[in-house]
Amino acid sequence: MTTEFNELLPISPTDKSQIWIIGTREQVLHTINEFYVKRIATDRVKFTPIIPAPFEGKYMSVLVR
């Protein structure tokens, strides 16, 4: 991207990237464990608690990097 486009983005440089995990409770837990084992996340504390998602029967967690 050019500097002009970067200036138009509403995100400040101090904001952190997020990875949203949405699925069944088992899928979300499995993905959290997989991210930890593959060292995408260095600590499980970086994930938010698993909460119900706004989709029926789905749960979610967010990894803040």
Q: What angle do CA 15, 19, 24 make, to 5 degrees?
A: 145
Tens of pLDDT along 1-54?
456 655 665 666 677 789 999 999 999 999 999 999 999 999 889 999 999 998
Backbone angles phi, psi at 8, to 5 degrees: -80, -15
Gyration radius (Cα) of the chain, Å: 15
Position 5 scores a pLDDT of 57
